[in-house]
Amino acid sequence: MRFFLRISFFCCTFAAEILFIMKKIFSLFAAMLLCLPMMQGAIKVHTIGDSTMAEYDESTTDKRGWGMYLGSFFDPAFVTVNNKGKSGADTRGFYTGAAYWPAVKTQMQAGDYLLIQFAHNDEGTITYGMDNLEYAQYCADHSLPAPTDARGTNPQTTYRDMLRAFIDEARALGVNPVLVGPICRAYFQGSDIKRNGKHDLGDKFSKIENGVLYENQSLPAGDSTMSYVKAMKVVAAEKNVPFIDLTEATRQLYLSYGETQCLNLLFCEGDKTHTNAMGGNLVARAAAQLLKNAGVLAEHITIPTDITANPNAIEIGETYCGVAQNKEFLLTGYGLEPVSGMVTLTATANLQISLDKENYASTANAPYSGGSMFQKVYVRANYTEGGEQLDTVYATSGEHVIAVPVNATALSLDGGAAVSATWAINAKPVADAVVEGPINAAFTMSNMMAADTKAEFVDGEETGITMVRFHNSDATGAKVAWPAGEIDENASRYLDFAITAPETMDVRITGITMDIAAHSTSTMCYHINTGFGDGFTDVQTIAERVNMTNLSISHLAFTPTLTIPAGETLHVRVLPWHNLGESKSGKYICVKNVVISGQAFEAGTGVEHVSQEPIANSQKLIKNGQLFILRDGKTYNALGVEIK
């Protein structure tokens, strides 16, 4: 019998006699073995915060939140990480958003841990350091347009109150809260990080006193009244919860590289807030070390001194047969012996790997030198048959072998009924979608308005193309200026394209396409996010663009793996922001030819799952009547014996 993990360079063949014995004793040992990882992987570390912590799709952007890498510093047999960082979130927005804090609470159990990191968006984008609700009331009292951005808290009042609410509600569930200082922005000033880079707005903030708005206020250098980090420390002491100073740790990290190298190596291009893979990994490493130093799950934290894979397992989830999925992991090592060497990478049948994201093959060689290694490994998975899939990438350096399991559920698209919704968007108001198949479609806007059409757009050599221009608006739909200083999406400002599945059919989305452009600006940015239902849950960012080229049309095409359950609604949202240091009007984002297409199937039909249950970073699989366990990069048989 051929062992189902097709190991290309060291293949172990089970003798028929051993398999026969294993079948006989399977029932005796299986239950006992399965209980072990369930007990060991019982602790979860839930991370809540903003875009610097969040999850990102490797095929969409080079941003990487540090929460994506934290799990690799824990022993996965005992601890797993549930990263729920949310791009654009401040404390109040995360607390009140139905898809965020209320959802996280349902995932927590007594004995778990909660890491809380906020401040970037609490600082606000319209009036710095103010509570946004207070400012909204001021606007109402003075007949000013209501603010279109709901973010912003004051470090002395709302920010502290929201941190207290997270702590109290976590403790009520038996969960252990930990406050985490927000990572620095890479705002260099000589040999240090600027005051606002350390989340102290003492050099420039706004306040309302006795009904009067005061802007551009400042405080002496030693006054920490407007410091969000200081406010977090005060709450930590008051509530007797651990505080880990990731703000200071990242300050020291950035300074150790110097401004040029820090921005080039650790941050996304043109971005001083969001880290790339290397930056996110190093921040996660620093966070893990601080947790260990503070005695938080210290016995389960390992700061590796050998080459390691991060993450140590890749979970693709559902994917379509014949549609390639791109993932990545990092090979990292610090203080390595020998100081130079080579890592040989080998992938099993359904996978190809690349070190440059261009040339893919079943093998690759990754050199390192200077006692350090930091190498992105790009993994492309493509399945021809439906069902549960398990492949592996092996990394070998001398006698040291790392196994990175890649798990997926491949779905066949055969036998479905074609469905689609097309919004041409040739004029305002936006006409209803042209619908094919048994679905419903709708278009809505939030804090956006359709202004007019312009025949000025360029598509390659074709000119004079007409597009509808969309502008920022208030809640009534009246045109208002784009706020200054936005660096990320505003969750309440979007164009929304929705498809609802029929009550008796599931819809598998196979394509999302649209044309998109900017008008009168080269600093318009956007995210395209997908989410489900009124609460916009299970959010995925499928596209990101910063600083669009004025008047130039981009044709976007995506092949997501999204299934709309019978009777439910999928939303595809375009969320624009204007990345400028001053408030501006007359800047537009333009969208046309939006098409969402897929296949409809009778509800409940699809792949027949093999018995597989993820436990921590372990997987148990029953294949051909035999039990196998993958845990921490190793494979075990039903007797608990490691398979090499």
Note the pLDDT tens digit of each residue in 512-567: 999 999 999 999 999 999 999 998 988 999 999 999 999 999 999 998 899 999 99
Q: Is the pLDDT of residue 240 over 70?
A: yes
The answer to whether the CB of 76 falls within 8 A of the CB of 616 is: yes
| Residues 555-592 pLDDT 10s | 999 988 999 999 999 999 999 999 888 889 999 999 99
Q: Is the pLDDT of residue 13 over 70?
A: no
pLDDT at 11: 35
In the numeric block, the tokens 């595809």 are attached to 572
pLDDT at 633: 59
Evaluate whether the domain defined by 304-412 bears CATH number 2.40.128.110. Answer: no
pLDDT at 39: 40
CA distances from 241 to 111, 155, 163, 164, 175 (A): 15, 18, 11, 10, 12
The answer to whether the CB of 346 falls within 8 A of the CB of 305 is: no
Average pLDDT over residues 597-621: 58
Determine how many CB atoms are found less than 10 A away from the CB of residue 204: 15
| Residues 51-81 pLDDT 10s | 999 999 888 899 999 999 999 999 988 999 9
Q: Is the pLDDT of residue 627 over 90?
A: no
Strands 113-117 and 176-180: parallel
Q: Is the pLDDT of residue 148 over 90?
A: no
pLDDT at 219: 97
> Which tokens hold the place of 171?
């403790």
CA distances from 363 to 330, 366, 369, 377, 644 (A): 16, 10, 20, 11, 19
- Taking the alpha carbons of 195, 197, 200, 205 in that order, is the dihedral positive or negative? positive
What b/e readout covers 69-91, taking b as 16+ CB neighbours within 10 angstroms? bbbbbbbbbbbbbbbbbbbbbbb
Q: Where in the chain is the domain with CATH 2.60.40.2310?
A: 304-412
Q: Is the pLDDT of residue 4 over 90?
A: no
pLDDT at 23: 35
Phi and psi at 187, nearest 5°, equal -95, 90
Q: Is the pLDDT of residue 625 over 90?
A: no
Length of the chain, please? 644
* Confidence band for 126, pLDDT divided at 50, 70 and 90: confident
Q: Is the pLDDT of residue 362 over 60?
A: yes
Q: Is the pLDDT of residue 292 over 80?
A: yes
Q: Within its chain, how far is the Cα of 248 from the centroid?
A: 24
pLDDT at 622: 39
What b/e readout covers 227-265, taking b as 16+ CB neighbours within 10 angstroms? bbbbbbbbbbeeeebbbbbbbbbbbebbeebebeebbee
Write down the mean pLDDT value for the chain: 88
Average pLDDT over residues 296-317: 92
Give, as one character, the DSSP assignment of residue 479.
Answer: B
Q: Within its chain, how far is the Cα of 522 from the centroid?
A: 26
pLDDT at 40: 43
pLDDT exceeding 70 applies to what percent of the chain? Answer: 87
Where are any strands of DSSP class E within 74-141? 79-83, 113-117
Q: Is the pLDDT of residue 37 over 90?
A: no
| Residues 243-284 pLDDT 10s | 999 999 999 999 999 999 999 999 999 899 999 999 999 999
The answer to whether the CB of 396 falls within 8 A of the CB of 386 is: no
pLDDT at 24: 35
The partner residues of 149 in beta bridges, in order of sequence, read none
Average pLDDT over residues 416-440: 96
Indicate the CATH number for domain 40-300.
3.40.50.1110
pLDDT at 415: 85
Which amino acid appears at position 351 of this protein? L
Find the helix packing angle between 277-293 and 259-266, rounded to 10°. Answer: 100
Rounded Cα distance, 182 and 180, in Å:
6
The model's pTM: 0.78
pLDDT at 581: 82
User: Looking at the domain covering 417-602, what would its CATH class be?
Assistant: mainly beta
| Residues 196-238 pLDDT 10s | 999 999 999 999 999 999 999 999 999 999 999 999 999 999 9
Give, as one character, the DSSP assignment of residue 11.
Answer: -
Torsion, CA 260, CA 261, CA 264, CA 270, rounded to 10 = -30
Rounded Cα distance, 250 and 189, in Å:
15
Q: Where in the chain is the domain with CATH 2.60.120.260?
A: 417-602
Q: Is the pLDDT of residue 9 over 50?
A: no
Q: Where in the chain is the domain with CATH 3.40.50.1110?
A: 40-300
Average pLDDT over residues 317-340: 91
> Which tokens hold the place of 500?
């609802």
Q: Within its chain, how far is the Cα of 583 from the centroid?
A: 29
Average pLDDT over residues 374-383: 96
Q: In the Cβ-directed half-sphere of 4, how many Cα atoms lie within 13 Å?
A: 18
Average pLDDT over residues 399-403: 90
The answer to whether the CB of 180 falls within 8 A of the CB of 49 is: yes
